[in-house]
Chain A
């Protein structure tokens, strides 16, 4: 990890510099984390809740961050887990499987004021929603966020080989559905 990042992490952990450093952290990463979360939970209001919870968790747990990965990787992992926990919670309250809940959210995009994608975008979102959870996450991170497999591997704590296989299967399924 580079010196600059180590110094920044240090300032996040010190009581007298924590608040200013945290403001900079939020300013720098809020959009990236938001869009990652949004692609997982689909709905803006849900993404809003999850992104706030993510940053609160980051603030509460920054002193436990061991710097074994980059700060962004660590935050991205928290965001992913928060989004998945959110989906689990919402789906279970409605008596649905996670995938069913996601598909119902995507079905609602046609009347969502915060979605102005064309028909192709909507079809793509529906196809992605039908993927198993792990494949959906990998597809979102690789295709939409254009992340490298090594970075995804660090975040999801999965081997690069397994990720490549997941992505390959995801692309295959999406192509088949779009062709239909």
Chain B
């Protein structure tokens, strides 16, 4: 007769019986040593669902936040870019120059040529007339 103990074809994972022993002991002792604490009916099923829902909702919120931040960043970059590109050239205008410009425009608009010449000094008139070619 063959010895069935030595020819057992079945195998178990390494350390299986040690772990099994420990697992059973742990579970039973945890239950025994809860010292009077109880939970509502079906609590552990309900809490699992709640945890999964909470985690999914947090994940969705994080994705939305990232999208908003990305778009805000792009919008801010575009704003800065266009602000720099379209800034008009402004040179500081001195007080005297602005007054002179005003006066020049006033005279050109409101005086005819004879009136303008009459405002010049005689010396200046001669200079202007002498600039013309002599026949």
Query: Bound state CA distance, A180 and B51, in angstroms?
Result: 43
The A interface is mostly helix, strand or loop, or mixed, namely helix
| Interface membership of B52, Cβ < 8 A | yes
Query: Bound state CA distance, A14 and B93, in angstroms?
Result: 65
| Interface membership of A51, Cβ < 8 A | yes
Given A44-B40, A117-B37, answer yes or no on A26-B52 (Cβ-Cβ < 8 Å): yes
* Inter-subunit contact A56/B55 (CB<8 Å): yes
Given A122-B36, A146-B25, answer yes or no on A27-B30 (Cβ-Cβ < 8 Å): no
| Interface membership of A60, Cβ < 8 A | yes
Query: Bound state CA distance, A125 and B29, in angstroms?
Result: 17
On chain A, the residues within 8 Å of B34 by CB distance are 35, 144
| Interface membership of A100, Cβ < 8 A | no
Partner of B52, one of A23, A32, A121, A124: A23
Given A22-B52, A35-B30, A122-B36, answer yes or no on A51-B47 (Cβ-Cβ < 8 Å): yes
Looking at B37, B39, B52, which has the most chain A CB atoms within 10 Å of its CB?
A: B37
| Interface membership of B58, Cβ < 8 A | yes
Q: Select from chain A the residue with minimum beta-carbon distance to B48.
A: A26
Given A22-B55, A23-B52, A114-B39, answer yes or no on A146-B47 (Cβ-Cβ < 8 Å): no
How many residues on the A side are at the interface (Cβ–Cβ under 8 A)? Answer: 35
* Inter-subunit contact A59/B55 (CB<8 Å): yes
Partner of B38, one of A26, A30, A115, A146: A115
Partner of A143, one of B33, B38, B54: B33
Query: Bound state CA distance, A117 and B37, in angstroms?
Result: 7
How many residues on the B side are at the interface (Cβ–Cβ under 8 A)? Answer: 23
Given A35-B30, A145-B30, answer yes or no on A55-B37 (Cβ-Cβ < 8 Å): no
Question: Which residues in chain B, 38-58, are within 8 Å of chain A measured between CB atoms?
Answer: 38-40, 43-44, 47-48, 50-52, 54-56, 58
Given contacts A55-B55, A56-B58, A117-B37, 13 further A-B contacts (CB under 8 A): A26-B51, A30-B47, A31-B44, A35-B30, A38-B37, A44-B39, A56-B51, A56-B54, A56-B55, A60-B58, A145-B30, A145-B33, A146-B25
**B residues in contact (CB < 8 Å) with A:** 25-26, 29-30, 33-40, 43-44, 47-48, 50-52, 54-56, 58
Q: What are the 3 tightest A-B residue pairs by CB atom distance, in nearest-first order?
A: A117-B36, A121-B36, A144-B33
Jot down 17 A-B pairs with beta carbons below 8 A, ordered by A.
A22-B55, A30-B44, A30-B47, A31-B44, A39-B37, A51-B51, A52-B50, A56-B58, A59-B55, A113-B38, A114-B37, A116-B38, A117-B35, A117-B37, A144-B35, A146-B30, A146-B33
